[in-house]
């Protein structure tokens, strides 16, 4: 990789930018231009360079690599995540094996508490949550019966509200989900696709882990370090602070992989795909610990932020001070969350049809495919895409070899005919 300082920021201009010519297949430019140095773009850059010996130019409009997973050491020496807490969890051994080439791991099981009725209780709702909220002593069977008595069966589950009311009833829905979802999405749960709250389970035991995945760990030295290792290849050039628009007609490349917003690529031809954004307030306080777990949720609509993260729980760092991030949902700003509603899926399908009809450009990642993917899913998507590219590249080079072979044979035949030795 070229052009990065140890924390992933730009050192300056690094690559000459030959003008794009119609001789796109010459070896003087890049085989691939990849837009976006997040998981999608970086995994593909690494695979193409390492496995297929392709020359890759990877650009990002931000001043750093690692996309939304970017982390860095702040002035207090604490490792923080610029775009909110990123917790790695997956059931895919393929994804773990791949990423483990670039990082060691620190085992970490994510725990979240919710500030409800003036106390901190586990979320997802579990046996302890019910005991604390209702002052009860429960067995798992009691907890199951209790939730059943609260649940209000919904005949046809369509929205996020239906999912929760059907499983835990209106009272718990209002305490934990309604306000949080309204703040997070700017929409009532009754207006949101069921997929949003389906992600949060309910438990009748004391398991207080936020995720149930088989692999839960954080990159030992952070995400940015992992990305630096991934991109450390002589065939990969990285340009930061560089928007696709600035270079699209300046750089010579054969193929384009685009992990930016798909609607932006097509100049918002059918209108904007809606995203929810966030404002982050990063703060370091003069106390060793701030809260008992990494993340505390604030579901009440009386509080403007949705959650507070304390990073020491993720990293295990020891420091007399501690760093926090407050998250404030926003309508405008960087595109973070595709809004899962049927009309948005419909709009995306129109862009997807355009993408399908655009040869030599491949759309990938959360923004390129307008999907609410976690990091491991984006890595999985990029690895699967690489397999397809590899097959196509091999088929293409097989064809080129066959054509060259044919040309050589023809040349021999012509030469022999010219010498009069043919039959
Ligand atoms: C607040 C928050 C918390 C999250 N927490 C978790 C979590 O705990 N666990 C988890 O698994 N996932 C989490 N995610 C999801 C995770 O961030 C994504 O799955 C992952 O970042 C997607 O990678 P990507 O490469 O598709 O996109 P991104 O990381 O968004 O990278 C895309 C990059 O493309 C660049 N770009 C876009 N357009 C252009 C352009 N025109 N020119 C140049 N560059 C461009 C952008 O600057 C960006 O850096 C979270 C997401 C958010 C927003």
What is the Å distance from ligand 1's center to 70 Cα? Answer: 9
Contacts of 312 (CB under 8 A, 6+ apart): 78, 289, 319, 322, 323
pLDDT given for residue 13 in this prediction: 34
What average pLDDT does range 76-95 have in this prediction? 98
Residue minimizing CA distance to atom 2 of ligand 1 = 84
Domains of the chain and any CATH numbers? 1-65+231-274+339-423 (3.40.50.720), 112-198 (no CATH)
State percent of the chain over pLDDT 70: 89
What is the Å distance from ligand 1's center to 68 Cα? Answer: 4
Please report which confidence band the pLDDT of residue 21 belongs to, taking 50, 70 and 90 as the band edges.
very low
Identify the CA nearest to 37 among candidates 21, 54, 59. Answer: 59
Please report which confidence band the pLDDT of residue 168 belongs to, taking 50, 70 and 90 as the band edges.
very high
Q: Name the DSSP letter for residue 64.
A: B
Res 22 pLDDT > 50: no
Query: Tell me: the pLDDT tens digits for 317-340?
Result: 999 999 999 999 999 999 999 998
Please report which confidence band the pLDDT of residue 11 belongs to, taking 50, 70 and 90 as the band edges.
very low
SS3 31: strand
What average pLDDT does range 175-190 have in this prediction? 95
Phi, psi angles (nearest 5°) of residue 144:
-65, -45
Query: Tell me: the pLDDT tens digits for 228-270?
Result: 999 999 999 999 999 999 999 999 999 999 999 999 999 999 9
Q: Name the DSSP letter for residue 334.
A: S
What is the Å distance from ligand 1's center to 337 Cα? Answer: 9
137, 148 Cβ separation under 8 angstroms: no
Res 406 pLDDT > 80: no
Candidate from 52-56, 114-118, 281-285, 406-410 with smallest mean pLDDT = 406-410
pLDDT given for residue 408 in this prediction: 66
What average pLDDT does range 49-68 have in this prediction? 98
- The token duo for 27 is 């070896």
Pairing of strands 253-258, 361-363: parallel
Query: Tell me: the pLDDT tens digits for 207-234?
Result: 999 999 999 999 999 999 999 999 999 9
Res 8 pLDDT > 70: no
Q: In what order do the strands lie in the sheet with 89-90?
A: 89-90, 215-219, 105-107
Mean residue pLDDT of the chain comes to 90
Please report which confidence band the pLDDT of residue 407 belongs to, taking 50, 70 and 90 as the band edges.
low
What average pLDDT does range 155-173 have in this prediction? 93
Res 415 pLDDT > 60: no
Candidate from 14-23, 69-78, 147-156, 361-370 with smallest mean pLDDT = 14-23
| Chain-centroid distance, C-alpha 320 | 32
d(CA 48, CA 154): 49
Position in ligand 1 atom list of the atom nearest CA 366: 26
Q: Which residues of 267-277 are buried (b: 16+ CB within 10 A; e: fewer)?
A: eeebeebbbbe
Pocket of ligand 1 (CB under 6 A): 35-41, 59-62, 67-69, 83-87, 243-244, 259-260, 278, 336, 365-367, 373-376, 378
125, 176 Cβ separation under 8 angstroms: yes
Res 195 pLDDT > 90: no
d(CA 210, CA 11): 39
Residue minimizing CA distance to atom 50 of ligand 1 = 86
pLDDT given for residue 254 in this prediction: 95
pLDDT given for residue 25 in this prediction: 43
Which residues, in sequence order, are bridge partners of residue 281? 326
pTM: 0.89
- The token duo for 11 is 């050192």
| Chain-centroid distance, C-alpha 307 | 19
């Amino acid at each position: 990789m070229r052009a990065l300082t140890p924390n992933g920021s730009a050192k300056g201009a690094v690559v000459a930018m030959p003008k794009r010519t119609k001789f796109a297949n010459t070896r003087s430019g890049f085989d691939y231009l990849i837009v976006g140095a997040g998981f999608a773009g970086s995994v593909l850059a690494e695979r193409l360079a390492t496995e297929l010996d392709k020359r890759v130019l990877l650009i990002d409009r931000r001043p750093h690599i690692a996309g939304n997973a970017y982390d860095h050491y702040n002035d207090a020496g604490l490792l923080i995540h610029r775009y909110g807490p990123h917790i790695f969890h997956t059931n895919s051994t393929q994804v773990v094996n791949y990423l483990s080439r670039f990082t060691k791991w620190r085992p970490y099981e994510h725990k979240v508490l919710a500030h409800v009725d003036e106390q901190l209780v586990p979320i997802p709702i579990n046996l302890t949550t019910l005991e604390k909220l209702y002052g009860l002593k429960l067995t798992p069977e009691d907890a199951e019966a209790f939730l059943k008595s609260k649940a209000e069966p919904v005949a046809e589950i369509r929205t996020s509200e239906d999912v929760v009311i059907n499983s835990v009833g209106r009272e718990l829905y209002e305490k934990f989900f309604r306000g949080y979802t309204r703040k997070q999405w700017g929409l009532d749960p009754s207006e949101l696709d069921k997929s949003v709250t389906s992600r949060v389970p309910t438990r009748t035991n004391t398991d207080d882990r936020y995720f149930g995945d088989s692999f839960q760990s954080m990159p030992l030295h952070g995400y940015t370090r992992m990305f630096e290792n991934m991109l450390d290849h002589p065939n990969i050039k990285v340009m930061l602070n560089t928007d696709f628009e600035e270079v699209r007609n300046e750089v010579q490349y054969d193929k384009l992989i685009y992990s930016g917003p798909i609607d932006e690529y097509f100049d918002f031809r059918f209108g904007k795909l809606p995203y929810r954004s966030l404002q982050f307030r990063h703060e370091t306080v003069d106390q060793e610990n701030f809260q008992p777990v990494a993340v505390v949720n604030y579901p009440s609509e009386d509080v403007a932020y949705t959650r507070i993260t304390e990073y020491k729980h993720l990293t295990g760092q020891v420091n007399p001070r501690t760093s926090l991030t407050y998250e404030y949902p926003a309508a405008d700003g960087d595109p973070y969350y595709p809004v899962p509603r049927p009309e948005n899926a419909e709009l995306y399908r129109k862009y997807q049809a355009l993408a399908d009809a655009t040869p030599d450009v491949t759309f990938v990642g959360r923004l390129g495919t307008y999907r609410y993917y976690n990091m491991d899913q984006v890595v999985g998507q990029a690895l699967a895409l690489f397999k397809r590219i590899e097959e196509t590249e091999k088929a293409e080079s097989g064809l080129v070899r066959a054509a060259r072979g044919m040309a050589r044979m023809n040349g021999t035949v012509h030469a022999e005919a010219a010498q009069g030795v043919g039959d």
